[in-house]
Amino acid sequence: MTTSDNTPESIKPASTQGTTNAIAIKNLKNKRLQQPTTDDLTHGIINGNMTALSRAITLVESTNKDHQKKAEAILNLCLPHANRSIRIGITGVPGVGKSTFIEAFGMHLTGLGKKVAVLAVDPSSTLSKGSILGDKTRMEDLVKNEHAYIRPSPSGNSLGGVARKTRETIILCEAAGFDTILIETVGVGQSETAVHSMVDFFLLLKLAGAGDELQGIKRGIMEMADAIVINKADGDNLKQAKNAKAEFGRALHLYPAKDSGWKPKVLLASALKKEGISETWELINTYWLLTKDNGFFDSKRKGQNKFWMLQTIEERLKSDFYDNPRVKQELDRQLSLLDQGKTTPFAAAEMVLGIK
């Protein structure tokens, strides 16, 4: 069908209608005009505007190159306003009560006048695009609290990528005035190591009565913990929880002393009954005072910055290398030669690495 026929304007397909087109273009232009600039977003964040914060985090999470550039600019401008916070990692197996605990803990903190941001590093979201904080239902009050900000975990194809996004999101939240950052992760895999390298204090939630194997907790995670909170210490479970507290206390004594000069502690809590919540905060405060005083707090953050810089370089080198079309081609060729027994893994690797 041509557009030079005599069909009345009103029944022509939308794409050929002059007036509709003009309106569409105008709308598009308006929409572009409405897109805030990086300066707008930065200004908004620093003034505590939650919409600006959410938009900037969306840019951080985007894989679009333009968005990433914008995100970088915003991060640079926000950096001088960040850092004034305490970052707390909370880990534990599924069902231990992390979300319930964060709800109670977050409400307690906002009650003390704190501004609380809740983020997550969720290894499962890299596969299923799901989200650890999908269950916002467990944070009913905190979700509605104007001094709290809850952001579901970003998705991505590598834990490194997801962790980087979370780290950058921490900076944005701090610039927006959040002074307490809670980062939730499931304590069953690699993610808690990533979270450990971005927090000041690492809290492990455990259950009484379930063996370590059953709880899927590796010894390494116990060693990383600055505190172990035995949750669900209520009802029939209380006696068992008290026993577990004594047992974990003894176990922690066996670990080597930490550089922080801090001796990890064990506490009992019932997130459901909101017990042990204020005690947990007091404990973290004691840690903060100690490590601020002995210089560990600041030196740990500096160490983490170096770690993330090197991590970023590594990630970039790897992705640049594998994205190179000539590398892809040579890789395929060498894999097939290897398959046919015509080369060795080392010779094949050398050939691929030799691509410039």
- Interface residues with ligand GTP (CB under 6 A) are 92, 94-100, 132, 135, 138, 186, 231-232, 234, 270-272
When the beta carbons of 40 and 234 are compared against ligand GTP, the nearer one is 234
Question: How wide is the angle at C-alpha 267 spanned by C-alphas 106 and 299, nearest 5°?
Answer: 70
Closest approach, Cβ 100 to Mg ion, in A, equals: 8
Q: What span, in angstroms and rounded, lies between the C-alpha atoms of 177 and 75?
A: 14
Residue nearest to Mg ion (CB): 99
Which of ligand GTP, Mg ion, none is residue 270 near (CB under 5 to 8 Å by kind)? Answer: ligand GTP
Toward Mg ion, which CB reaches closer, 99 or 126? Answer: 99
DSSP 3-state assignment of 89?
Answer: strand
Given the complex with Mg ion, which of 99 and 270 has the nearer CB atom?
99
Name which of 170 and 186 has its Cβ closer to ligand GTP: 186
Q: How far is the CB of 133 from ligand GTP (least distance, A)?
A: 8
Distances in Å between the alpha carbon of 328 and those of 324, 340, 341?
6, 19, 20
Question: Closer CB to ligand GTP, residue 92 or residue 154?
Answer: 92
Q: Which is nearer to ligand GTP, 53 or 224 (CB)?
A: 224
Return the residue nearest ligand GTP (CB atom). Answer: 97
Cα angle 138-199-181, degrees, rounded to a multiple of 5: 45
Q: Which residue has the tokens 């398959």?
A: 339
Q: Which does 169 bind (CB under 5 to 8 A by kind): ligand GTP, Mg ion, none?
A: none
Task: Work out how close the CB of 156 gets to ligand GTP at its nearest, in angstroms, rounded to a whole number.
Answer: 19
Task: Let me know: does 160 contact 311? Beta carbons within 8 Å.
Answer: yes
The entry of ligand GTP, Mg ion, none near residue 272 (CB within 5 to 8 angstroms by kind) is ligand GTP
Instruction: Answer yes or no whether residue 191 interacts with Mg ion by CB under 5 A.
Output: no
* Contacts to Mg ion from residues 99-128, by CB under 5 A: 99
- 254: which residues sit within 8 A by CB, 6+ positions away? none
Kindly state the smallest distance separating residue 200's Cβ from ligand GTP, in Å: 21
For 84-105, give one letter per residue: b (16+ CB within 10 A) or e.
Answer: ebbbbbbbbbeebbbbbbbbbb
Nearest residue to 123 (alpha-carbon basis) of 87, 173, 166: 166
120: partner contacted, choices ligand GTP, Mg ion, none (Cβ within 5-8 A by kind): none
* Residue 92 contacts which entry, ligand GTP, Mg ion, none (Cβ below 5-8 A, type-dependent): ligand GTP
- CB 122, min distance to Mg ion, A: 9
| Contact partner, 163, from Mg ion, ligand GTP, none, Cβ < 5-8 Å per class | none
Residue 203 touches which of Mg ion, ligand GTP, none (CB < 5 to 8 A by kind)? none
Please, which residue, 186 or 222, has the CB nearer to ligand GTP? 186
Quick one: 55 or 196, whose CB is closer to ligand GTP? 196
- The interface with Mg ion within residues 44-103 (CB under 5 A) comprises 98-99
Q: Are strands 86-92 and 201-207 parallel, antiparallel or unpaired?
A: parallel
Q: Give the span between the Cα atoms of 238 and 201, in whole angstroms.
A: 26
CB of residue 93 vs Mg ion: minimum separation in angstroms? 11
Q: What are phi and psi of 155, to 5 degrees?
A: -100, 165
* Burial tier of 60 (Cβ tally within 10 Å: 0-12, 13-18, 19+): buried
Residue 55 interacts, among Mg ion, ligand GTP, none and using kind-specific CB cut-offs from 5 to 8 Å, with none
How buried is 308 (Cβ within 10 angstroms: 0-12 exposed, 13-18 middle, 19+ buried)?
Answer: middle
Cβ-Cβ contacts under 8 Å for 67 (sequence gap 6 or more): 58, 59
Distance between CA 264 and CA 227 in Å, rounded?
A: 5
Q: With respect to Mg ion, which residue has the nearer C-beta, 91 or 343?
A: 91
Binding site for Mg ion (CB under 5 A): 98-99
